[in-house]
Chain A
Amino acid sequence: MRALARQLLFPLIAVIAAFVLGGILILLIGDNPIVAYRLLIGSALSWPDGIGYTLFHATPLIFTGLAVLVGFRCGLFNIGAEGQLYIAAFATAWVGITFANLSPWLLVPMCCAAAILMGAFWAAIPGVLKAKFGSHEVINTIMLNFIAVALVSYFTQYHYKIPGDPILQTAPIGYGAHIARLGKFIPGLPQRIPLNLAFILALLCCLLVYLFLWRTKWGYEIRSTGSNPSAAEYGGISIRKQIILAMAVSGALAGMVGINDVMGYHYRYYDGFSDQYGFTGIAVALLGRNHPVGVILAALLFAVLQHGGIYVDGFSEHVTKDIVQVLQGIIILFVAAEAFFQYVTGKFGLKYAKL
């Protein structure tokens, strides 16, 4: 219990501090922070639209948060979730378009597999580069982001767009590739809200990631590598394999964002659909303490901010939805400060606590 409280302490401080500082900012702008916050949170938690959209926004953040988490646990910083999810989403759409006439029983698994495998593949590239040549994954994942975005835009524009369509998007995927919106199962939740089965998949992935990392021998090897590569090597664990494996799993998770967007929302590849999900995933993982449960909580918080921000924009006088960016920024700053704080106390605390 105490350990849990300690785990929650810093993220809570970060969130509270962000809201306090944000409140001061709103005061300075000339609005009432209480009113603004009530608008922000109230609208995000209203039924059914608020909650529906908030959970919909949380879905990709859970996936990318998990992706970053798996990397972190292996000592890797996957900044490439953004590129991985674009490539994966496009692959999903490609399968959905190319095999449009197949039955859902075939097409849904095929599309999901495309998202997962393509994400894993795109992330495994920097993994292999690191394992074989020691080149840093941060540089390579960033580079691959640019390549991924440019590549899918190119294919959309020149090969898969319906001629004459002014929007940069592919042709629609076959009906067999659609996955149900949750409104179909939940009374009172209209089906126009794009919250779909991918959200359930995201929750399932949290459980699977937990089981994978903490309950299997593979997870043990990944975490050992992240905790102390020298000791892992000593224990007969191949660090190279763990790096490639962790990157591939990370990319597979990022790739599942494609399932949410292509199969559950746009029903096509829509260029630029990602609202920086890959990068926000880093903050989600950090705030969530690199734990699947933490990732769910952090993703929900960021989704509340994102969705509530739209209402703040519309209904308050001076404050725009940019306040959300400010809040997110402050939270990240505090979470990063904690890492620094721990580094400092870890380094000097040990020394001076020696009796």
Chain B
Amino acid sequence: MLELRNISKRFGQVLANDNVNIIVKPGTIHAIVGENGAGKSTAMRIAYGFYTPDSGEIVVDGQVREIRSPHDAIALGIGMVHQHFMLVEPMTVAENIVLGSEPGTAVALDLKTAAQEIRKLSEEFKLAVNPNAVIEHLSVGQQQRVELLKALFRHARLLILDEPTAVLTPLEVEEFFTILRRMREQGKTVIIITHKLSEVLAISDEVTVMRDGKVVGRVQTKETNAAELARMMVGREVLLRVEKPEPKVGEPELVVSNLTMTKRDGSKPINEVSFQVRKGEIVGIAGVEGNGQTELIEALAGLVEPNQLSGEINFEGQNITRAGARSRRELSIAHIPEDRHRRGLLLDFTLAENSILGVHYRPPIAAGVGGVFLDDSAIHQRVTEIINNFDVRPPNEKLAAKSLSGGNQQKLIIGREFHVEPKLLLVSQPTRGVDIGAIEFIHRKLVGLRDSGCAVLLVSAELEEVTSLADRLLVIHQGKIVGEVDPKVATLEEIGLLMTRGH
């Protein structure tokens, strides 16, 4: 169906695609896997006409084709769904789908026939999308199906999906895969770009593995496994399972009792939550995103207005419910936030400047007359330690944080928060958007910190991550802790049910 032959593409200094060969057979689901920056998206954008290759050719249905723009790609039956949806929120599904190829005469827009056709397509593939619904009222999963419909409406026979599951909840992922299988049955070809190995194994027929801009492997899904794929992606053996000794649990470090957060609009994202975290253990919080995890961690970190909180947060016997973020940090509470761009980093600042956030105001960083001036050598020493201990690349403290890859940004944040030798670590989505190699590294660091006696509270949307890291697992549903399970014993299905139903 689609073949990329010897495709190369250079962006400035970076050879994003180096002699890439990809063959996608018709009627299959083909996964392209690789770490961030491996060149997966570049290759697919070339196939979709977003970029023109520096050399090489694209073959569609056995014929060499020039694809100069997405328009050409669509004409050849190639459709692409981007990671970030390109939908006009206040408009209806039908309006969004026809956008760019409006049916009817030059002046009159014929939405009725379009809506009929959309309904037909939606039924054919069991997408359950109402053409007259307004986009902003739809869930993320539904919006994604609208994107699929957009491609199908333009008679796409080959669909390229860029990280389609990144935005979906575990349940939505299942539904989505069912849709993909149905599309394959109807004779469509699907390319799915991802870096989640479990999904590759679950959905694809064939896998192309990319690393550093090159294709490093092409295998039948049936004949491979996660460990082999991971090794190909990273280029070395990767430990997929977290190995950890039995916890040596000590005194309770954090005790939360009846914590409720009431927002100004009266909603209660956290509702009567009580739990404790002891020294030397990792307590995981599992839940579908948006069930209060974000607010809970922010409340514990001192980032929620105290007057929105009731109940008590006790740290080492001290009531810190009304303490601010700075005084909590002074008690050795560290926080790895879920959104590194919004909370964790000053993207325009250098690595050195980022490395002192939170301790910038006290010795040894602030020194000199009256403890006012920033001490360059102290900053240099600190950032060098973080860069070395956490393998931040490139190891140049003068670079702006925004120029690092997601994984290295995350390592910088984790290094910074570890550097204060915390007694309590609040950590949210520690490996979101991070490469496999770095995930392994981060997991080992978290376990090491726990073994040194730190109390760790971990929130993650990756169920496998929380179950493998946590010593105890709490399930949160609509702001309430609805159960505690032993992650060694409980099955993913059990936890999944608690997460979605709350009992």
A121→B344 CA distance, assembly (Å): 34
Q: Which residues from chain A contact B349 at a C-beta distance below 8 Å?
A: 223-224, 227
Asked if A217 contacts B374 (CB within 8 A), the reply is yes
Interface string of B403-419 (1 = CB under 8 A from A): 00000000000000000
Asked if A234 contacts B303 (CB within 8 A), the reply is yes
At the interface, yes or no: A351 with Cβ under 8 Å from chain B? yes
A53 to chain B, nearest CB (A): 38
At the interface, yes or no: A6 with Cβ under 8 Å from chain B? no
At the interface, yes or no: A21 with Cβ under 8 Å from chain B? no
Asked if A234 contacts B343 (CB within 8 A), the reply is yes
Q: Which of B11, B303, B343 is packed against the most chain A CB atoms within 10 Å?
A: B343
Q: Which residues from chain A contact B335 at a C-beta distance below 8 Å?
A: 234
Contact partner of B360 (CB less than 8 A), chosen from A221, A230, A234, A354, is A221
Asked if B374 contacts A227 (CB within 8 A), the reply is no
At the interface, yes or no: A216 with Cβ under 8 Å from chain B? yes
Closest to B374 in A: A215
At the interface, yes or no: A37 with Cβ under 8 Å from chain B? no
A82→B161 CA distance, assembly (Å): 55
A228→B347 CA distance, assembly (Å): 8
Q: A231-B345, A233-B303 are in contact. Are A355 and B358 (CB under 8 A)?
A: no
At the interface, yes or no: A185 with Cβ under 8 Å from chain B? no
Asked if A224 contacts B357 (CB within 8 A), the reply is yes
Contact partner of B343 (CB less than 8 A), chosen from A217, A221, A230, is A230
Interface string of B30-74 (1 = CB under 8 A from A): 000000011101100000001000000000000000000000000
Contact partner of A353 (CB less than 8 A), chosen from B11, B39, B326, B344, is B11
A232→B357 CA distance, assembly (Å): 8
Closest to B37 in A: A355
Asked if B361 contacts A230 (CB within 8 A), the reply is no
At the interface, yes or no: A163 with Cβ under 8 Å from chain B? no
Q: Which residues from chain B contact A221 at a C-beta distance below 8 Å?
A: 360-361
Asked if B325 contacts A233 (CB within 8 A), the reply is yes
A351→B342 CA distance, assembly (Å): 17
Contact partner of A216 (CB less than 8 A), chosen from B84, B346, B374, is B374
Interface string of A232-248 (1 = CB under 8 A from B): 11111110000000000
A289 to chain B, nearest CB (A): 13
Closest to A237 in B: B326
Contact partner of A220 (CB less than 8 A), chosen from B11, B84, B353, is B353
B382 to chain A, nearest CB (A): 14
Contact partner of A355 (CB less than 8 A), chosen from B42, B348, B373, is B42
A236→B349 CA distance, assembly (Å): 17
Q: Which residues from chain A contact B353 at a C-beta distance below 8 Å?
A: 220
A217 to chain B, nearest CB (A): 4
Q: A234-B337, A236-B325, A355-B42 are in contact. Are A217 and B346 (CB under 8 A)?
A: no
Scan residues 328-379 of chain B and give those whose CB is less than 8 A from a CB of chain A: 328-329, 335, 337, 342-349, 353, 356-358, 360-361, 365-366, 371-374
Closest to A220 in B: B360
B355 to chain A, nearest CB (A): 11
A355→B406 CA distance, assembly (Å): 13
Q: Which residues from chain B contact A237 at a C-beta distance below 8 Å?
A: 326
Q: Which of A216, A235, A238 is packed against the most chain B CB atoms within 10 Å?
A: A235
A260→B50 CA distance, assembly (Å): 58
At the interface, yes or no: A105 with Cβ under 8 Å from chain B? no
Q: Which residues from chain B contact A133 at a C-beta distance below 8 Å?
A: none
Asked if A227 contacts B347 (CB within 8 A), the reply is yes
Q: Which of A221, A231, A232, A351 is packed against the most chain B CB atoms within 10 Å?
A: A231
Asked if B342 contacts A216 (CB within 8 A), the reply is no
Asked if B372 contacts A235 (CB within 8 A), the reply is no
Closest to A228 in B: B346
Asked if B39 contacts A355 (CB within 8 A), the reply is yes
Asked if B50 contacts A235 (CB within 8 A), the reply is no
Q: Which residues from chain B contact A220 at a C-beta distance below 8 Å?
A: 353, 356, 360, 374
Q: Which residues from chain A contact B302 at a C-beta distance below 8 Å?
A: 236
Q: Which residues from chain A contact B425 at a C-beta distance below 8 Å?
A: none
Interface string of A38-73 (1 = CB under 8 A from B): 000000000000000000000000000000000000
At the interface, yes or no: B324 with Cβ under 8 Å from chain A? yes
B250 to chain A, nearest CB (A): 27
Q: A227-B349, A355-B14 are in contact. Are A234 and B344 (CB under 8 A)?
A: yes
Contact partner of B329 (CB less than 8 A), chosen from A224, A227, A236, is A236
Asked if B372 contacts A218 (CB within 8 A), the reply is yes
A232→B374 CA distance, assembly (Å): 17
Asked if A351 contacts B84 (CB within 8 A), the reply is yes
Asked if A235 contacts B358 (CB within 8 A), the reply is yes
Closest to B366 in A: A217
Asked if A235 contacts B357 (CB within 8 A), the reply is yes
A232 to chain B, nearest CB (A): 8
At the interface, yes or no: B149 with Cβ under 8 Å from chain A? no
Contact partner of B342 (CB less than 8 A), chosen from A218, A231, A235, is A231
A220→B360 CA distance, assembly (Å): 8
Q: Which residues from chain B contact A224 at a C-beta distance below 8 Å?
A: 346, 349, 357
A224→B360 CA distance, assembly (Å): 11
Q: Which residues from chain A contact B325 at a C-beta distance below 8 Å?
A: 233-236
A240 to chain B, nearest CB (A): 11
Asked if B16 contacts A355 (CB within 8 A), the reply is yes
Asked if B343 contacts A231 (CB within 8 A), the reply is yes
CB pairs A–B below 8 angstroms (16 shown): A216-B374, A217-B371, A217-B372, A224-B349, A227-B348, A228-B346, A234-B335, A234-B344, A234-B357, A236-B324, A236-B329, A236-B358, A354-B41, A355-B14, A355-B42, A355-B213
- Which 6 pairs across A and B sit closest by C-beta, in order of nearness? A236-B326, A235-B357, A217-B366, A235-B358, A236-B325, A217-B361
* New A-B contacts (5) at CB < 8 Å, excluding given A221-B361, A236-B325, A236-B361: A231-B343, A234-B358, A237-B326, A238-B324, A354-B41
